């Protein structure tokens, strides 16, 4: 079960490449959403691995605030920058 | 006997989830356009997450912990499509032109 | 085996922090901030501390990012 946690962390590190080299802002927000859901799965698996029920509350609270992050970013990053060309 | 069967179901669910999460990471890296990346970020991610959480439910059995995991599944099912839709509405401020896969050979 | 995951998360934390400092665009740095918070939450959970983990998930991954985004919208544009 530890191998599954290690694999999901490795996939999150792979997805961080798109945050580093995304050409525009919505690419980076979508990659941030994907990394957040992957870490939520890691939190649930760690809660079952350590056999403590308290850590599931951490996963639930983190999921709610990830959604709030995405909503606020999509509402307030409105105007594009000067020389940005989407591809 | 029933223990081995439960263990096998857990491994099948977790491996399916890992496959979809790997396809999410590869799609986020390799796709050429924003909208195709949104496909990878919505469908593959939700399939992988639900598979991993179903594996956790099968591992844990019926109880208080599995009810909390069901609450997390319902939260993901509500919030992730809304998030992807909102990102797509953000992208129309940037005036993207989607890349053409095939050339248009009719206008010559 | 948990030690390898812990070291990998530490390396990812350092990469995220240096990326936030040395990038040129300011909105990119703000987008990289919740990822930093998420890694800190997982590290606190591995270290068996649920209280700081919930505080980190509420404050650093939630509230600070919202304040930075609203501030960038009010000033730069």
DSSP B91: G
A-C CB pairs within 8 A amount to 108
- Alpha-carbon separation of residue A51 from A48, B18, C44 (angstroms): 5, 22, 16
Per-residue pLDDT at B43 exceeds 60: yes
Task: Please answer yes or no on whether A2 and C2 come within 8 Å at the CB atom.
Answer: yes
Quick one: pLDDT band at residue A86, thresholds 50, 70, 90? very low
Quick one: pLDDT band at residue B22, thresholds 50, 70, 90? very high
What are the domain boundaries of chain A? 2-76
Ramachandran assignment for C48, one of left (phi > 0), alpha (psi -120 to 50 degrees), beta (any other): left
Q: Of A20-24, B91-95, C53-57, C67-71, which gets the smallest average pLDDT? A: B91-95
Per-residue pLDDT at A31 exceeds 60: yes
Helices (H), C23-77: 26-46, 50-58, 64-75
Distance CA A7, CA A13 (A): 10
Using a CB-CB distance cutoff of 8 angstroms, which residues of chain A are in contact with residue B45? 34, 37
Using a CB-CB distance cutoff of 8 angstroms, which residues of chain A are in contact with residue C46? 46
Per-residue pLDDT at B73 exceeds 90: yes
Ranges in chain C, pLDDT < 70: 76-77
Using a CB-CB distance cutoff of 8 angstroms, which residues of chain A are in contact with residue B88? 26
CA A29 to chain CA centroid, nearest Å:
9
Per-residue pLDDT at A5 exceeds 70: yes
When CB atoms are compared, the residue of A11, A26, A31 closest to B21 is: A11
Nearest CA in chain A to C50: A55
Quick one: pLDDT band at residue A87, thresholds 50, 70, 90? very low
DSSP C24: S
Per-residue pLDDT at B108 exceeds 60: no
Mean per-residue pLDDT, A54-60: 89
ipTM of the complex: 0.89
Task: Please answer yes or no on whether C31 and A29 come within 8 Å at the CB atom.
Answer: yes
- Min Cα distance A86 → chain C (Å) is 16
- The predicted-structure confidence for A35-51, as pLDDT tens digits, reads as follows 999 999 999 999 999 98
Determine the residue among A5, A18, A28 to mutate to test chain B binding: the one whose Cβ has the most chain B Cβ atoms within 10 Å. A18
Distance CA A44, CA B108 (A): 57
Task: Please answer yes or no on whether A15 and B25 come within 8 Å at the CB atom.
Answer: yes
Q: Give pLDDT, residue C46.
A: 92
Q: Return the top range by mean pLDDT from A17-26, B95-104, C39-48.
A: C39-48
Mean per-residue pLDDT, B59-64: 87
Question: Contact at 8 Å (CB) between A20 and C19?
Answer: yes
Burial of A80 (0-12, 13-18, 19+ CB in 10 A): middle
Quick one: pLDDT band at residue A23, thresholds 50, 70, 90? confident
Distance CA C26, CA A82 (A): 14
Q: Give pLDDT, residue C24.
A: 86
Distance CA B72, CA B50 (A): 10
Q: What are phi and psi of C24, to 5 degrees?
A: -90, -40
What are the domain boundaries of chain B? 2-93
- Alpha-carbon separation of residue A48 from A41, B11, B13, B57, B65 (angstroms): 11, 15, 15, 10, 9
Q: Give pLDDT, residue B20.
A: 93
For helices A25-50 and A54-76, angle between their N-to-C axes, nearest 10 degrees: 170
Mean per-residue pLDDT, B79-104: 79
Distance CA A69, CA C34 (A): 8
């Amino acid at each position: 079960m530890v191998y599954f946690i290690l694999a999901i962390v490795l996939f999150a590190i792979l997805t961080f490449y798109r945050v580093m080299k995304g050409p525009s802002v919505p690419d980076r927000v979508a990659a941030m959403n994907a990394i957040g859901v992957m870490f939520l799965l890691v939190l649930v698996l760690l809660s079952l691995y350590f056999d403590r029920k308290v850590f599931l509350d951490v996963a639930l609270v983190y999921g709610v605030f990830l959604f709030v992050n995405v909503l606020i970013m999509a509402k307030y990053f409105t105007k594009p920058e000067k020389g940005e060309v989407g591809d | 006997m029933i223990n081995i069967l439960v263990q096998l179901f857990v491994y099948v669910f977790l491996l399916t989830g890992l496959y979809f999460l790997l396809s999410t990471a590869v799609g986020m890296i390799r796709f050429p356009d924003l909208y195709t990346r949104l496909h990878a970020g919505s469908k593959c991610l939700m399939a992988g997450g639900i598979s991993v959480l179903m594996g956790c439910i099968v591992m844990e059995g019926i109880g208080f912990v599995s009810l909390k995991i069901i609450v997390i599944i319902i939260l993901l099912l509500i919030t992730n499509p809304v998030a992807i839709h909102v990102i797509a509405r953000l992208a129309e401020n940037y005036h993207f032109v989607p890349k053409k896969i095939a050339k248009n050979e009719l206008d010559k | 085996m948990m030690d390898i995951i812990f070291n990998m998360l530490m390396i990812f934390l350092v990469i995220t922090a240096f990326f936030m400092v040395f990038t040129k665009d300011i909105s990119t740095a703000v987008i990289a901030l919740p990822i930093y918070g998420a890694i800190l939450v997982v590290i606190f959970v591995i270290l068996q501390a649920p209280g700081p983990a919930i505080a980190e998930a509420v404050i650093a991954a939630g509230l600070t990012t919202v304040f930075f985004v609203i501030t960038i919208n009010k000033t730069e544009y």
